[in-house]
């Protein structure tokens, strides 16, 4: 049970108090009415004694009476009416509500933290009123009148006569038999005569004389002179006097005088025995004993006054002073000590003497007499009487009743020991007589008396109470007595912390006959469960729900709501979904009934926002109820602010914002740039790639450095983008906000008039300070009227299917610059079900307008130490754009842009740039992740034909008619094609006429594309950068993105090898100068191996190799050694062709010594009738933009095996560089081809070019990167790498230091019969290929010893010196004359000399053998 203000002893003592009746004359009543009080009301605050009283028991022992309270009420002869009693009890409970700010009892039990009201004053109010309204019963005397106070005014003409009249009236009421009510304790009722004197009006001397006469007549202990009204009501009205009646008299007494019926504002007569007075207070008049109780009961006088019909409280006691208060207090004390207590003591003695005198009779004889003669009992007359009494009725003088009467008297004066003995004795007698009603009453009071005995000589007999309750309820069918017994026992058990027993008892007493009683008892049982040593939280909540249900049935809506709210604390968030829904639904309904629309809306909101497990029908009912409540609330409040709606769920973090126009789709051959759209999924890696591209362009524009204020362009913001800064939008360009809605219900939802809610602060950014140009405005109340500032799109209808997640794209079009904040969405919410015409009508009514806020939490900060150790979140400004001044807007269209290309295929397309804004743009540039894929051509390139239609059937190359012949040579600088410092041009500038593209202007320029070298689908990203002609501080530039996907199919595979020529001069007889030039520059053989690896899927019939070109700073192709006639080489599917070319070093006179290192020499060898000029656009463009394989050589490439590692520091010694340069080539081969394709019964000619980078002599290079070169998984290394060893040239590189060549006749005729020895002169030419001095050793002692070689050619000998030591200067050619001696005719191999070479300045290096590439065969003929 809940805590009570009173202790259990105080509660029981105040429940059973001596009753005193009051009879007043009319004049006396008029004297008290000056204070707006009746006489009993006047005395009520002073009825508790402040000092101890004493009396003696029959054994002459002194009994101390402490804190005795007396109940004084007017006589009411009307019997109590049960319905009226129920109504007044209900009214008393309903007006006693939990006070605001009352002490809350926070209980922590497990996972629960419950905020429960510590006290239940409404229960105490009910209990006190109930106990006081108990009708007087025949079987007990506790609420019978012990005395009667006769009050007469001193202004009466003959006061003694008036006393006589009142005394006769009391005697008539008690003894005439006309009235069954009220009940009197004993026949000889104490009469106490009070003379009431009005000091302000009456004659004090006369009053004193009358009082003296009274003392003579009635004795000094039987009368009293009470002087009141020391001041008139009009004087001193401003003086504040204490009002002790306010806490008692908000209700009338339960007993009112018969002869003074007073009707109050609620129309209920005060004469009614159960009248609870004005229902504005929780306390019951007779039971509010001390100040603390009164304070609790009267905490809300203003609130409660508003419930009743009272408008302003009537001031009471206005004629009384504090002295008058003391007079009344003294009067009560005199009456009690000198009148009432002696009277009770006398009656206890008399009853005791009677009982003792009867003990002389034999108990058994007495019993036998009773059995024979019925013991003087009144015979039972009807079944109704039997049911009411559940046994016999005793006459008033029956000894059993005398024992009970004595027990009650002892109980009233707190002599509990004697009372218990008497109750115990009476109980036995009643049980032996089977008088169950009397027995139950005796059991009940015996248990209470046993509990109240000081020192607790015996334990509390709870079984007495259980038996009494069961007897009252089941045998006697008297629920009032059973309920009183239950209330007493539960309070006693609670005081003994037997909460489980108390709860069981309270629950047993719930029944269907009284909802109010059941509700109150169930609530107290719930408090028992929560107050246990181990709180039973779920039982508390369950019984609170039951109590709330019974309160609701009893019409106590506020108490029902409070019970449900307290129970919700337990069920909330614990997975009890259906129970939680039921509670919230009930709370919503009760709150709405009680005119608490905010609470009602909140409760229904909880039902709807959680993932409900209810059926669709139930959810529909919930939703309709919510809409009805919400609509009613909005009509009542009527204020402009829109409340928050719970449906549908709004996923704020998934909100995306797009700045700019949606992509315009082009028609026909035109293809618009993809840019960014809301339909694209966000890719973090791709976003970083675009950022890097933009940074590159910005760095180029700003001369190599990215500004500190650089902010990457973000057209689409979401939860994964960087939203720490305020995004920038442009005036007159739309802002699209994509909002994600989810319908959690199983019923459809219909949203209408859906639009964004925003606030906007106009600012003028042309002013350096960005001054505010106006006040902040919002569209919360008006939407259409603000369209001239920000045009807000409204979606008329937006339907969400059951449990559907759906996005809505809402548009804003700002017309002014400033700061915009998107706050949320505004819409009308209704149910999506319309069954018939009536349903559609209801649908229109059940549609409410509200809003939901878009509140986005930023990403967690994790940069500093403080941020890492705490959980802090940064701002998210995606919904707070700054509207910047006008900027240019570029649209890009691609014309004839292919989707599929052959590897290396060249295709010409066109690009159209359109400025669709009102601002001119400039500084147009493009950056790409694949700069090798496209080119806009060099500034010097020929741009004919001018239009895309004229270019349909023309070649993409610049061609010149020329028969196949020697190479055509031209020199080109890379700078002409935008290439500097050896890097590929990532950023290209697009030329504009006069550098500006005006508003509405369009520009078409050609674009050459080359298919990627690798087959497959390639993603190629273009970033177009442009600026405004007017520089603004907010937005410096804008970008446009385009992503193209190209499917590359196989075409040709080109492999090339460079071999050093063995001949040192041309075999043709040419001029000596030409010979010397060639010998000095050197020559080389280039073998080109071309294979058609195309699969027939692309429809390619055959490839034609139309031209082979070279590009290098040192070498050039000279001529084709194996020409295939005049026709170009044809390759069908899977065919392979070989071409051999002679390459020579570039001549100095072709470009001059200073320019050869900077310029490239292009040499064209056409195999057909047309020459493609490879040194112009697009061939040279794609050569300079070629892929990575040829790039590493710029920084020194390693061409040896794995045994060779170059030092990273760049301090390679001269030896290594010298040896390396001997084998370096740096020659790029460009193979130009045409392919004949059949497509739709038409033959198309495709053309393209492939690049092969020759870097080292003897090492094969390929146009396709090998699959073996793919990146393999690398093991993680946790130790530092070992530094690379000092680089040394490999054996293969050393073998290229010198070049040897044997000059001899192919056949030699010798007459062996005449001369047996044949001597043939042979010249060995040794050439130093390096730029350093080389020591050479020629050893002639080597002979071929392998049997295989001897089978082919015979053995011979060299004559003369067997070893030569030579020293060759840089690029020196030395001719050594030798003689070979043969002994017989045959074929001989002269390639036996071993040549060793080493660099002169290195002594430790081993000399390396030079092996001839081919056998040098000579035929010796015998003639």
| Of 289 and 41, the one with more pLDDT | 41
Instruction: Report d(CA 843, CA 841) in Å as an integer.
Output: 5
Q: What is the pLDDT of residue 1356?
A: 86
pLDDT (average), residues 400-410:
91
Q: Looking at the predicted structure, is the pLDDT value of residue 1404 above 60?
A: no
Instruction: Report d(CA 439, CA 429) in Å as an integer.
Output: 8
User: Positive or negative CA dihedral for 267, 270, 272, 275?
Assistant: positive
1035-1049 per-residue burial string, b: 16 or more CB within 10 A, e: under 16? bbbbbbbbbbebebb
Q: Looking at the predicted structure, is the pLDDT value of residue 179 above 90?
A: no
Q: pLDDT band for position 873 (50/70/90)?
A: confident
Structure tokens at 16: 């059973």
Q: What is the pLDDT of residue 192?
A: 92
Distances (CA, A) of 1222 to 1059, 1299, 1331, 1395: 12, 11, 8, 17
Q: What is the pLDDT of residue 1362?
A: 85
Instruction: Report d(CA 612, CA 872) in Å as an integer.
Output: 33
3-state helix, strand, coil in the chain (%, to 5): 30, 25, 40
The separation between CA 1159 and the C-alpha centre of its own chain, rounded to angstroms, equals 63
1011 with 904: CB under 8 angstroms?
Answer: yes
Q: Looking at the predicted structure, is the pLDDT value of residue 1272 above 50?
A: no
Contacts of 94 (CB under 8 A, 6+ apart): 279, 307, 555, 556, 558, 559
Instruction: Report d(CA 1019, CA 1021) in Å as an integer.
Output: 7
Residue with tokens 């002013």: 767
Q: Looking at the predicted structure, is the pLDDT value of residue 728 above 60?
A: yes
DSSP annotation of 1411: P
From 746, 801, 741, select the one nearest 621 (Cα to Cα).
746
Structure tokens at 1208: 């990273």
Distances (CA, A) of 1021 to 350, 388, 687, 715, 1183: 118, 100, 12, 16, 20
Distances (CA, A) of 148 to 18, 533, 961: 11, 49, 146
Determine which of 84-93, 119-128, 254-263, 426-435 has the lowest per-residue pLDDT on average.
254-263
User: Helix crossing, 479-495 with 121-132: angle to 10°?
Assistant: 130
Instruction: Report d(CA 296, CA 717) in Å as an integer.
Output: 60
Q: What is the pLDDT of residue 1211?
A: 38
pLDDT (average), residues 827-852:
65
Q: What is the pLDDT of residue 769?
A: 62
From 561, 608, 529, select the one nearest 112 (Cα to Cα).
529
User: Are β-strands 1100-1112 and 1160-1166 bridged in parallel, bridged antiparallel, or unpaired?
Assistant: antiparallel
Q: What is the pLDDT of residue 285?
A: 34
The separation between CA 162 and the C-alpha centre of its own chain, rounded to angstroms, equals 84
Mean confidence (pLDDT) of the chain: 78
**How many beta carbons lie within 10 A of that of residue 1098, not counting itself?**
17
Which tens digits make up the pLDDT trace of 1147-1164?
A: 765 444 444 457 888 888
Q: What is the pLDDT of residue 385?
A: 37
DSSP annotation of 157: S
- Helix, coil or strand: residue 1243: strand
Q: pLDDT band for position 523 (50/70/90)?
A: very high
Structure tokens at 829: 């919410």
969 with 1162: CB under 8 angstroms?
Answer: yes
- Helix, coil or strand: residue 1393: coil
Q: What is the pLDDT of residue 223?
A: 92
Q: What is the pLDDT of residue 1331?
A: 77
Q: What is the pLDDT of residue 849?
A: 86
Q: What is the pLDDT of residue 1147?
A: 72
Instruction: Report d(CA 413, CA 337) in Å as an integer.
Output: 12
Which tens digits make up the pLDDT trace of 126-154?
A: 988 898 888 888 888 998 999 999 999 98
- Helix, coil or strand: residue 1398: strand
pLDDT (average), residues 280-301:
33
From 96, 94, 73, 92, select the one nearest 84 (Cα to Cα).
92
Q: pLDDT band for position 1188 (50/70/90)?
A: very low
999 with 920: CB under 8 angstroms?
Answer: yes
pLDDT (average), residues 770-780:
76
Q: pLDDT band for position 1346 (50/70/90)?
A: low
Which tens digits make up the pLDDT trace of 183-198?
A: 898 888 999 999 999 8
Q: Looking at the predicted structure, is the pLDDT value of residue 323 above 80?
A: yes
| Of 1077 and 440, the one with more pLDDT | 440
Q: pLDDT band for position 295 (50/70/90)?
A: very low
User: Helix crossing, 436-452 with 462-470: angle to 10°?
Assistant: 150
Determine which of 114-123, 495-504, 1188-1197 has the lowest per-residue pLDDT on average.
1188-1197
Which tens digits make up the pLDDT trace of 1025-1037?
A: 999 988 876 788 8
Most confident residue range from 639-653, 1188-1202, 1212-1226: 639-653
Instruction: Report d(CA 648, CA 801) in Å as an integer.
Output: 11
Q: What is the pLDDT of residue 490?
A: 92
135 with 80: CB under 8 angstroms?
Answer: yes
Q: Looking at the predicted structure, is the pLDDT value of residue 912 above 80?
A: yes
Instruction: Report d(CA 662, CA 675) in Å as an integer.
Output: 9
Q: pLDDT band for position 310 (50/70/90)?
A: very low
Q: Looking at the predicted structure, is the pLDDT value of residue 550 above 80?
A: yes
pLDDT (average), residues 1059-1065:
67
Q: Looking at the predicted structure, is the pLDDT value of residue 1407 above 70?
A: no
Q: Looking at the predicted structure, is the pLDDT value of residue 521 above 90?
A: yes
First to last CA, the chain: 144
Q: What is the pLDDT of residue 663?
A: 74
| Of 1238 and 886, the one with more pLDDT | 886
Instruction: Using a pLDDT cut of 70, give the percent of the chain over it.
Output: 79
Q: Looking at the predicted structure, is the pLDDT value of residue 303 above 50?
A: no
User: Are β-strands 71-74 and 19-24 bridged in parallel, bridged antiparallel, or unpaired?
Assistant: parallel
From 851, 841, 739, 754, select the one nearest 798 (Cα to Cα).
754
1248 with 1011: CB under 8 angstroms?
Answer: yes
Helix (H), strand (E), coil (C) string for 780-836? CCCCHHHCCCEEECCEEEEEECCCCEEEEEEEEEECCCEEEEEEEEEEEEEECCCCC
Residue 112 pairs in a beta bridge with: 109
Residue with tokens 């990532």: 986
Q: pLDDT band for position 591 (50/70/90)?
A: confident
Q: What is the pLDDT of residue 526?
A: 93
Q: What is the pLDDT of residue 760?
A: 92
Instruction: Using a pLDDT cut of 90, give the percent of the chain over it.
Output: 22
Q: What is the pLDDT of residue 939?
A: 59
User: Positive or negative CA dihedral for 549, 552, 558, 559?
Assistant: negative
Helix (H) or strand (E) holding 431: helix 416-432
992 with 888: CB under 8 angstroms?
Answer: no
Q: Looking at the predicted structure, is the pLDDT value of residue 737 above 90?
A: yes
Residue with tokens 């003391």: 326
238 with 216: CB under 8 angstroms?
Answer: no
pLDDT (average), residues 669-677:
83
- DSSP assignment string, 263-309: B-TTS-BTTSTT---SSS-SS-TTT--SHHHHHHHTS-HHHHHHHSS
From 899, 893, 907, select the one nearest 952 (Cα to Cα).
907
Contacts of 726 (CB under 8 A, 6+ apart): 819, 877, 880, 881, 882
From 611, 527, 594, 521, select the one nearest 557 (Cα to Cα).
594
Q: What is the pLDDT of residue 260?
A: 34
From 314, 316, 253, select the one nearest 285 (Cα to Cα).
253
Instruction: Report d(CA 368, CA 241) in Å as an integer.
Output: 67
Q: Looking at the predicted structure, is the pLDDT value of residue 1070 above 60?
A: no
Q: pLDDT band for position 1315 (50/70/90)?
A: confident
Q: pLDDT band for position 61 (50/70/90)?
A: confident
Instruction: Report d(CA 327, CA 325) in Å as an integer.
Output: 5
Q: Looking at the predicted structure, is the pLDDT value of residue 202 above 50?
A: yes
Q: What is the pLDDT of residue 299?
A: 30
Q: What is the pLDDT of residue 1181?
A: 84
Distances (CA, A) of 1003 to 505, 1026, 1378: 96, 14, 75
Cis check for the bond before 364: say yes or no (omega within 30 of 0): no
Instruction: Report d(CA 1358, CA 64) in Å as an integer.
Output: 157
Determine which of 120-124, 269-273, 1075-1079 has the lowest per-residue pLDDT on average.
269-273
Which tens digits make up the pLDDT trace of 960-1001?
A: 777 666 677 787 777 777 666 555 677 888 888 888 999 999
Which tens digits make up the pLDDT trace of 782-837?
A: 766 778 888 999 999 999 998 889 999 999 999 999 999 999 999 998 887 654 43
Instruction: Report d(CA 316, CA 32) in Å as an integer.
Output: 10
Measured at the CA of 944, the angle between CA 940 and CA 945, to 5 degrees, comes to 160
Q: Looking at the predicted structure, is the pLDDT value of residue 445 above 80?
A: yes
**Residues present in the chain in total:** 1423
Residue with tokens 């195999």: 1167
884 with 1038: CB under 8 angstroms?
Answer: no
646 with 588: CB under 8 angstroms?
Answer: no
Q: What is the pLDDT of residue 1148?
A: 60
Q: Looking at the predicted structure, is the pLDDT value of residue 371 above 80?
A: no
Which tens digits make up the pLDDT trace of 999-1020?
A: 999 999 999 999 998 889 999 9
Q: What is the pLDDT of residue 1373?
A: 85
Q: Looking at the predicted structure, is the pLDDT value of residue 950 above 90?
A: no
């Amino acid at each position: 049970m809940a805590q009570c203000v009173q202790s259990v002893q105080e509660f029981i003592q105040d429940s059973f108090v001596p009753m005193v009746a009051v009879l007043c004359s009319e004049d006396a009543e008029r004297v008290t009415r000056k204070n707006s009080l009746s006489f009993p009301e006047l005395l009520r605050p002073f009825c508790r004694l402040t000092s101890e009283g004493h009396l003696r028991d029959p054994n002459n022992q002194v009994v101390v009476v402490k804190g005795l309270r007396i109940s004084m009420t007017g006589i009411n002869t009307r019997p109590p009416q049960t319905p009226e009693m129920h109504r007044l009890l209900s009214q008393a409970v309903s007006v006693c509500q939990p006070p605001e700010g009352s002490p809350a009892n926070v209980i922590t039990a497990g996972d629960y933290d419950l905020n429960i009201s510590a006290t239940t004053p409404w229960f105490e109010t009910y209990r006190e009123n109930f106990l006081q309204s108990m009708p007087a019963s025949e079987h007990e005397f506790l609420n019978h009148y012990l005395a009667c106070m006769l009050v007469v005014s001193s202004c009466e003409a003959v006061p003694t006569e008036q006393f006589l009249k009142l005394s006769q009236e009391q005697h008539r009421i008690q003894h005439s038999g006309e009235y069954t009510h009220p009940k009197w304790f004993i026949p000889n009722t104490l009469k106490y005569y009070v003379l009431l004197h009005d000091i302000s009006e009456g004659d004090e001397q006369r009053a004193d004389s009358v009082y003296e006469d009274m003392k003579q007549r009635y004795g000094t202990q039987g009368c009293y002179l009470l002087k009141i009204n020391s001041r008139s009501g009009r004087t001193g009205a401003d003086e504040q006097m204490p009002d002790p009646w306010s806490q008692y008299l908000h209700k009338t007494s339960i007993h009112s005088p018969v002869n003074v019926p007073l009707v109050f504002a609620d129309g209920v007569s005060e004469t009614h025995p159960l009248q609870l007075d004005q229902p504005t207070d929780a306390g019951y008049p007779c039971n509010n004993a001390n100040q603390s109780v009164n304070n609790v009961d009267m905490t809300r006088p203003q609130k409660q006054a508003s419930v009743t019909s009272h408008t302003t409280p009537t001031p009471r006691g206005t004629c009384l002073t504090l002295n008058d208060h003391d007079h009344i207090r003294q009067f009560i004390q005199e009456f009690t000590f000198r009148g009432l207590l002696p009277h009770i003591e006398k009656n206890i003695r008399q009853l005791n003497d009677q009982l003792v005198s009867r003990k002389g009779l034999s108990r058994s004889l007495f019993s036998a007499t009773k059995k024979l003669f019925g013991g003087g009992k009144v015979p039972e007359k009807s079944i109704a009487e039997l049911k009411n009494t559940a046994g016999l009725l005793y006459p008033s003088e029956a000894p059993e009743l005398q024992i009970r009467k004595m027990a009650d008297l002892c109980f009233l004066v707190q002599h509990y020991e004697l009372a218990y003995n008497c109750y115990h004795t009476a109980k036995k007698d009643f049980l032996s007589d089977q008088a169950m009603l009397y027995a139950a009453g005796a059991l009940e009071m015996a248990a209470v008396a046993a509990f109240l005995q000081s020192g607790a000589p015996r334990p509390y007999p709870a079984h007495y109470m259980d038996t009494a309750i069961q007897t009252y309820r089941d045998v006697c069918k008297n629920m009032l007595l059973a309920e009183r017994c239950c209330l007493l026992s539960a309070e006693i058990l609670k005081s003994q912390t037997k909460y489980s027993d108390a709860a069981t008892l309270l629950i047993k007493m719930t029944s269907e006959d009284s909802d109010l009683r059941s509700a109150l008892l169930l609530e107290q049982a719930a408090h028992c469960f929560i107050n246990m040593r181990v709180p039973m939280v779920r039982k508390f909540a369950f019984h609170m729900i039951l109590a709330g249900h019974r309160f609701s049935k009893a019409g106590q809506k506020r108490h029902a709501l409070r019970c449900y709210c307290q129970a919700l604390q337990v069920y909330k968030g614990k997975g009890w979904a259906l129970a939680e829904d039921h509670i919230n639904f009930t709370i919503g309904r009760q709150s709405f009934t009680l005119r608490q629309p905010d609470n009602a809306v909140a409760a229904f909101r909880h039902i709807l926002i959680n993932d409900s497990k209810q059926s669709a029908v139930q959810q529909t009912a919930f939703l309709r109820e919510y809409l009805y409540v919400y609509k009613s609330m909005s009509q009542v409040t009527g204020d402009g602010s829109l409340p928050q709606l719970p449906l549908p769920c709004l996923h704020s973090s998934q909100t995306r914002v797009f700045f700019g126009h949606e992509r315009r789709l082009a028609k026909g051959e035109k293809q618009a740039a993809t840019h960014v759209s809301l339909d694209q999924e966000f890719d973090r890696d791709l976003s970083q790639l675009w950022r890097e591209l933009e940074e590159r362009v910005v760095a180029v524009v700003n001369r190599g450095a990215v500004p500190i204020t650089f902010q990457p362009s973000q057209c689409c913001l979401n939860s994964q983008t960087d939203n720490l800064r305020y995004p920038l939008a442009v005036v007159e360009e739309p802002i699209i906000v994509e909002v994600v809605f989810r319908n959690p219900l199983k019923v459809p939802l219909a949203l209408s008039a859906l639009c964004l809610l925003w606030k906007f602060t106009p600012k003028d950014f042309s002013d350096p300070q960005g001054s505010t140009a106006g006040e902040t405005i919002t569209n919360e109340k008006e939407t259409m009227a603000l369209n001239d500032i920000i045009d807000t799109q409204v979606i008329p209808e937006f339907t969400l299917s059951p449990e559907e997640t759906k996005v809505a794209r809402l548009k804003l079009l700002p017309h002014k610059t400033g700061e915009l904040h998107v706050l949320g969405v505004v819409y009308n919410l209704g149910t999506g079900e319309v069954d018939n015409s009536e349903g559609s009508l209801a649908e229109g009514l059940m549609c409410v307008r509200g809003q939901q806020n878009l509140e986005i939490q930023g990403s967690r900060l994790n940069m500093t130490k403080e941020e890492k150790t705490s959980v802090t979140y940064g701002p998210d400004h995606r919904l707070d754009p700054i509207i910047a001044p006008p900027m240019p807007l570029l649209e890009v269209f691609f014309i004839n842009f292919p989707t599929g290309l052959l590897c290396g295929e060249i295709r010409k397309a066109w690009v159209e740039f359109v400025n669709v804004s009102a601002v001119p743009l400039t500084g147009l540039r493009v950056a790409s992740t694949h700069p090798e894929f496209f080119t806009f051509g060099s500034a010097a390139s020929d741009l004919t034909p001018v239009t895309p239609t004229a270019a349909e059937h023309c070649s993409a190359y610049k061609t010149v008619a020329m028969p196949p012949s020697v190479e055509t040579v031209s020199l080109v600088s890379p700078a002409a094609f935008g290439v500097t410092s050896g890097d590929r041009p990532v950023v290209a500038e697009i030329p504009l006429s006069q550098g500006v593209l005006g508003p509405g202007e369009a520009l078409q320029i050609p674009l050459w594309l080359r298919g990627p070298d690798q087959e497959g689908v390639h993603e190629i990203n273009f970033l177009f950068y442009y600026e405004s002609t007017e520089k603004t501080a907010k937005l410096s530039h804008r970008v446009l993105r385009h992503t193209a996907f190209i499917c590359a199919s196989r075409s040709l595979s080109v492999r090339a090898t460079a071999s050093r020529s063995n001949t040192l001069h041309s075999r043709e007889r040419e001029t000596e100068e030409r010979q010397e030039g060639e010998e000095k520059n050197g020559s080389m053989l280039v073998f080109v191996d071309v294979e058609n690896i195309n699969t027939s899927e692309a429809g390619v019939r055959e490839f034609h190799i139309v031209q082979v070109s070279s590009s290098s700073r040192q070498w050039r192709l000279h001529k084709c050694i194996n020409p295939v006639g005049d026709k170009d080489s044809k390759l069908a599917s899977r065919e392979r062709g070989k071409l051999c070319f002679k390459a020579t070093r570039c001549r100095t006179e072709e470009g001059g010594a200073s320019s050869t290192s900077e310029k490239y020499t292009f040499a064209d060898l056409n195999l057909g009738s047309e020459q493609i000029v490879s040194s112009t656009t697009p061939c040279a463009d794609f050569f300079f933009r070629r892929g990575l394989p040829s790039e590493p050589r710029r920084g020194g490439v390693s061409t040896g095996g794995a045994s060779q590692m170059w030092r990273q520091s760049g301090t390679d010694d001269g030896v290594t560089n010298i040896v390396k340069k001997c084998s370096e080539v740096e020659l790029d081969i460009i193979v130009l081809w045409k392919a004949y394709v059949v497509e739709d019964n038409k033959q198309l000619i495709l053309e393209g070019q492939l690049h092969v980078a020759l870097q080292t002599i003897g090492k094969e290079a390929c146009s396709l990167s090998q699959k073996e070169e793919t990146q393999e998984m690398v093991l993680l290394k946790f130790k530092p790498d070992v530094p690379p060893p000092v680089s040394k040239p490999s054996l293969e590189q050393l073998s290229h230091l010198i070049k040897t060549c044997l000059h001899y006749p192919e056949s030699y005729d010798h007459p062996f019969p005449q001369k047996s020895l044949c001597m043939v002169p042979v010249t060995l030419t040794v050439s130093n290929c390096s730029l350093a001095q080389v020591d050479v050793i020629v050893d002639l002692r080597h002979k071929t010893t392998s049997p295989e070689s001897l089978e082919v050619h015979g053995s011979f000998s060299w004559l003369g010196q067997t070893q030569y030591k030579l020293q060759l200067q840089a690029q020196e050619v030395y001719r050594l004359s030798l003689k070979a001696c043969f002994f017989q005719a045959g074929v001989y191999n002269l390639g036996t000399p071993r040549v060793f070479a080493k660099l002169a300045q290195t002594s430790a290096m081993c000399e390396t053998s030079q092996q001839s590439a081919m056998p040098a065969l000579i035929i010796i003929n015998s003639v």
